[in-house]
Structure 1
Amino acid sequence: MSLVDLGLPPLNALVVFEAAARLANFSRAGAELGLTQSAVSRQMLKLEGFIGAKLFQRTPAGVTLTPVGEAYVAEIRRILGDLAAVTHGARGSAGPRQVTLACSHGIADLWLMPRLQALDAALPGIELRLRVTDDVARLRLDEFDLAIFYRRERPTGVALHVLGTEEIVPVTAPGRPALADDPAPTLLAIEDSLREWLDWTHWFGAVAMPQPPAARVWRLGSYALSVQAASQGLGTALGWTWLLRDRLAAGTLVPAHDFHLRSEGSFYLMRPLDRHVRRVVRQTMDWLVASNAG
């Protein structure tokens, strides 16, 4: 069945339409796409005929979108973006030694990066592609071979291995005062509404300890920056013990309180169930599990 049979316009016309709408000028759209102005105009006339509505208003300076055109281009951009992502994901997972691994920024910075050299040595010739995002709710299964994320609820549609549970304790640099002994602590936090992780409000509420009135809060751009600031003695961060266990074991970070808050969430290693598992993906998954246990 062809696209016409499905009632769909030609894909090239949609690409031309997006460029013309973005640039508000047929000549500039043609220059970007390697077409003449008249070719762009013909494509748009055909597309308007196909839809049965005007998409553009012609002006002396160029073109402007009609209300129908504005609504249509918003959906076309979303669909073209999804098509590009699906194609990129299919191409990215097709290589015999390529593995696409998705994870959050915190996991990439604090858990995965220190292990990459050992991974490269254990699996010679592996081609690793990292898909780093904190918006796991919008991550599609076709965008990765493996993924490592913290989730409050157990994910579906994937094979799972629990790498660690969420347990947090305030951490700071060695020699810094304990949280209970500091009347004016600097509390290091992050500003990210997409995260499902617990924060200072949860911790103080669970320990039944009032936040010191003189405390100040630094909201940094990422969890890795918060941890780095704590390591430099700039304040106290909430330490997720699974992510920071190497630093806690080495003593570069130390607990600033003895209360550990644990939630029902876990850090999961995930693999889509609806895809053939290539040998290099299985090897990578097995290595990540073994590395976590070591």
Structure 2
Amino acid sequence: MANLRKDVHLLRHLVTFQSASRTANFTQAALELGISRVAVSRQIAELEEALGQKLFARNHRTVTLTQTGDAFAKNVNPALAAVAAALARQRADVSDPRISVTVTSAFATYWLMPRLIDFGALHPDIEINLVVSDRYIDIEAENIDVAVRYSPAAQTGAGWSPLFLETIFPVYSPRYAARTQLKSAQDLRRERLLFLSGRYRREARWEYWFSQRGLSSPEERSGVSVNTYINMLQAAIEGQGIALAGRPLVDTFLADGSLKSLATITPLQRDYYYLYQRPDHARACMFSNWVESQFREMPERPLIHHLYKK
């Protein structure tokens, strides 16, 4: 730090050097910087004098980096670009109170939306642009700051961290007219089941759940077929059948008694929720910290930190 304080008067000269070394033209550098060509030439000369080395070979109409100048540019120019990027990010954090958050429709409906009022009370200055999508949108292309994604594979890129390991189990409404005592998986084969249709993976369907217990699944025509997770849960709440659902999306309904689970049937671990936070974004960090705090307060939270090496 002492050396930097001693050379602080050269910082402007380094910016000039960056432009001149990139364009290989003092006149073009002057146009970029909004100063005269004479000023560019003078600042480069002062920088060379301070370093005790020639950075440019000056020809009649052109300039070229010397070997020393080329090595200096390779060290200095990326550092200045990093500083410029950091300043831009910081200005964006201050000037734009919005953050873009993407989640699935089910996660938005059953987990996030009921809790957003809490985040708003804690951070009234932050606006949430909620991007609800059941497809995996391009985070960079869509300029997403925070994402919660449900995936069977670990998300290991920059900004990703594990959040929650889902468990699934049968749920039904107290209004549902059961045909059996609902004590075992065998009993469920005789009940009216709600089947997910459409693009959902096999692990979300009754066929997979029964196969994990060594049983064949009833035919779909024996129950009710629904094409979205939201419709399935709504049908279960209305007592139309038994759904295969999971935590944390059904926690609210289990807590208020809208849905019940079968205590005698062990939940099945399925897929993972992962949290993405745009690196070096203050407001994204605040929102991500809040999401994690909400999950920490959940009972019986199956964390999955073992998936990542610290």
TM range (shorter): 0.5 to 0.7
Unaligned runs of at least 5 residues, structure 2: 1-91, 298-310
Letter of the 1:110 partner, please give it: Y
Shift of 1:216: 2.2
Task: Point out the structure with the larger strand share.
Answer: 1
Identify unmatched segments of 5+ residues in structure 1: 1-91
How many residues in Structure 1 have an aligned counterpart in Structure 2? Answer: 198
Query: Which residue is equivalent to 1:166?
Result: 166
Per-residue deviation, residues 121-180 of structure 1 (Å, max 9, x unmatched): 1211321111111111x4333421000111111113232332211211011112643264
1:5-50, Cα deviation, whole Å (9 max, x unpaired):
xxxxxxxxxxxxxxxxxxxxxxxxxxxxxxxxxxxxxxxxxxxxxx
The percent of aligned pairs where both chains have the same amino acid is 26
Check 1:205–1:240 CA distance in 2 against 1; reply closer, same or farther (3 A cut): same
- Whether the 8 Å CA contact 1:165–1:242 is kept in 2: the answer is no
Instruction: Check conservation: 1:151, 1:196, Cα contact below 8 A.
Output: no
Matched, 1:118 2:118: yes
**Residues 102, 146 of structure 2: 8 Å contact kept:** yes
Asked whether the equivalents of residues 167 and 241 of structure 1 are also in contact (C-alpha less than 8 Å), the reply is yes
| Structure 2 match to 1:293 | 296
User: Aligned residue for 2:269?
Assistant: 262
- Tell me, what secondary structure is at the counterpart of 1:120? helix
**Residue number in structure 1 paired with 2:303:** none
Compare CA radii of gyration and give the structure with the larger one.
2
Contact 1:157 1:272 in 2 (8 A): no
Hey, what does 1:73 align to over in structure 2?
none
Paired residue for 1:207, among 213, 216, 220? 213
Q: Distance in 2 between matches of 1:202 and 1:196?
A: 6
Task: Please report how far the alpha carbon of residue 93 of structure 1 lies from its aligned counterpart in structure 2 after TM superposition.
Answer: 8.6
Q: Give the counterpart of 2:244 among 227, 238, 248.
A: 238
Map of 2:129 onto structure 1: 129
Deviations 1:59-92 (A, max 9, x none): xxxxxxxxxxxxxxxxxxxxxxxxxxxxxxxxx9
Q: Which residue of 1 aligns with 2:258?
A: 252
Q: Tell me how far apart the structure 2 counterparts of residues 183 and 98 of structure 1 sit (CA, whole Å).
A: 49
Partner of 1:227, secondary structure, is helix
Structure 1 CA distance, aligned partners of 2:254 and 2:93?
36
Contact 1:187 1:215 in 2 (8 A): no
Which stretches of structure 1, 4 residues or longer, exceed 6 Å deviation after superposition?
Answer: none
1:205 Cα deviation from its structure 2 partner = 0.3
Structure 2 distance, partners of 1:194, 1:93, is 37
Counterpart in 2 of 1:187? 193
CA distance in structure 1 between the partners assigned to 2:276 and 2:172 by the alignment: 31
Q: CA RMSD in A?
A: 2.6
> 1:1-294 counterparts in 2 under 5 A?
96-136=96-136, 138-143=137-142, 144-174=144-174, 176=176, 177=178, 178=182, 180-181=186-187, 184-193=190-199, 195=201, 197-212=203-218, 216-256=222-262, 258-263=265-270, 265-273=271-279, 276-277=280-281, 279-294=282-297
Checking the alignment, whether the CA contact within 8 Å between 2:203 and 2:209 is kept in structure 1 is no
Specify the SS of the correspondent of 1:141. Answer: coil
